[in-house]
Structures are given as C-alpha cells and as structure tokens.
C-alpha cells in the first residue's frame, strides 16, 4: 500500500476566494510548486480533497468547478507538479438545490473522500497526511486514521486563533511538506 498527502484546495494550494468559480481568480499560493515537487519526490500520492458547497447553494455548477480544477491542474503542471487524483464534495445540509442538500460523509470533516481515494489507489491512510487551512481538514485526516496538519494560509490563521492546540500547525504548505519529508524537521509555527 502507498502513502498519500491529501490536500485541501482553497486557502492551501490557491488563494482563498469565497465560492471560487472563475478561472481568472485562481492564484497559486507561494511555495506550492516546490512543496508538491518535494512530496512527490518523497514518494507520496498527491490527492486534492475539497468541500464545494457553492454547488449545493447554486452559486456555481459542477461544470464550473471542473473548469476551475482543470485550470489549476494545468497551472500545477507548468510548475512541474502532478496531482494524482481530485475529489470534491458538492453537498451541504443547508443547500438550496435539493439534489445536493444532504449531510454526507464525504464533506469534511468526514473522512469519506479519503476512504474513496484509499480504495481507488490502494493507500495506507495511517501512513498518510491531510493538509488544509481549516480544522475540518485536520479532522478529516484524523478521521481517516492519519495525521492532519493545519496551515496558516487562507482561513488558517483565523481557525488557529479560535482553537489553538488542536494539532500540528505550519505557516504554509512548503514548511509542512519539509516536515513530512523529514518526519519531524523544522516546524515554523507550532508542533503541538
């Protein structure tokens, strides 16, 4: 079985834009390319897992979401990075569209997306990491049996202030990637 790093999209890989659905608004965060190349070189599968409640609210369609993800995929390829798989949850229990209005296990902090990916790619969740800018990302990683990491980009600083001490915290994706590869190297924020 292989190990993976599950990556949140908005606020972790790209600048956080509420309900992002225009490709021209996609902007990589600093250090993302080097971080992903480092993780890939270390043998990790790279899998994006993202909540996209904007679909359930009717703010954008799944086709809009696919366009943004495809654009981001091309941007990452230009950085020399390869994402192995993309998973998203379009649901929300308060969604405006009945088709997507439900509470599900695939919505983080649930571990459903990790479980789907683990089955499809024969991944060892206990040896894997989940990185995101929300505590729900960290919890999804823990629910899957692996390690969750909060980064202070996107909504991370706000989430960290509301509940410090909940887990591993790094300033950005590159510092988290360096720690993962070294399994305990320099932590630029708080290793709790």
As annotated, the active-site residues are: 8, 10
Q: In this structure, which long-range contacts are made by residues 81-84, counting pairs with CB atoms below 8 Å and at least 24 apart in sequence?
A: 81/32, 81/33, 81/36, 81/37, 81/40, 81/46, 82/40, 82/46, 83/7, 83/36, 83/46, 83/47, 83/48, 84/4, 84/45, 84/46, 84/47, 84/121
């Amino acid at each position: 079985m292989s190990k993976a790093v599950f990556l949140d999209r908005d606020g972790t890989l790209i600048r956080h834009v509420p309900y992002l659905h225009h490709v021209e608004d996609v902007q990589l965060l600093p250090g993302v390319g080097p971080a992903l190349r480092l993780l890939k070189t270390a043998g990790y599968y790279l899998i994006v897992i993202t909540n996209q409640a904007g679909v359930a609210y009717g703010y954008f369609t799944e086709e809009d979401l696919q366009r943004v993800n495809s654009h981001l995929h091309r941007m990452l390829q230009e950085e020399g990075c390869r994402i192995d798989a993309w998973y998203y949850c379009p649901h929300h229990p308060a969604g405006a569209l009945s088709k997507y209005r439900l509470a599900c296990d695939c919505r983080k902090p649930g571990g459903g997306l990790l479980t789907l990916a683990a089955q499809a790619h024969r991944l060892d969740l206990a040896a894997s990491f989940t990185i995101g800018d929300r505590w729900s990302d960290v919890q999804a990683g823990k629910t899957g049996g692996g390690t969750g990491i909060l980064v202070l980009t996107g909504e991370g600083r706000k989430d960290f202030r509301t509940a410090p001490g909940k887990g591993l915290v790094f300033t950005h994706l590159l510092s988290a990637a360096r720690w993962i590869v070294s399994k305990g190297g320099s932590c630029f924020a708080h290793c709790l």
